[in-house]
Amino acid sequence: MPAHAAAPRSRRTLAWLAASQLLALASLLPWLGVAGTSIVGFEAPETGGAVAPWVFLGVVWSYPLLPLGCAVAAWLAYGRRRYGRAAVLSAVPLLPALPLLAYLFWVSSPA
């Protein structure tokens, strides 16, 4: 494929990488609040030896690894001119937000 034919696709992918990674970066702001308050799960007396709070804590605190790993993989794919793969990898960190937004919409809707 000639270089001039790949240029529009490359620019669109570059714009998507920048936009989606800015959104992923913005998702870390609410994550800070959730990560800070996730330790509250250990305050209940009945959670003495429970595994569930530790699993929840591990999942919440490991969330930043998802956008970071996907960003690195997306830029590597972009550098190798695999624009479709780069776009998909850049969208993966946004997927956890979809169920959360659906839940918030459901909770805030009038009964």
pTM of the model: 0.74
Three-state SS string over the chain comes to CCHHHHHHHHHHHHHHHHHHHHHHHHCHHHHHHHHHHHHHHHCCHHHCCCCHHHHHHHHHHHCCHHHHHHHHHHHHHHHCCCHHHHHHHHHHHHCCHHHHHHHHHHHHCCC
Please say whether the beta carbons of 41 and 53 come within 8 A. yes
Q: Which residue has the tokens 């998507």?
A: 16
What is the per-residue pLDDT for 4? 56
Give tens-digit pLDDT for 23-76: 888 888 888 888 888 887 777 677 667 787 788 888 889 989 999 999 999 999
In this prediction, residue 21 has a pLDDT band, given cuts at 50, 70 and 90, of very high
What is the per-residue pLDDT for 100? 75
Give tens-digit pLDDT for 97-109: 778 777 777 888 7
CB neighbour class for 75 (10 Å; exposed up to 12, middle 13-18, buried from 19): middle
What is the per-residue pLDDT for 3? 53
Q: Which two tokens stand for residue 110?
A: 């009038």
Question: Can you tell me the distance from the alpha carbon of 64 to that of 27, in angstroms, rounded to the nearest whole number?
Answer: 9
In this prediction, residue 2 has a pLDDT band, given cuts at 50, 70 and 90, of low
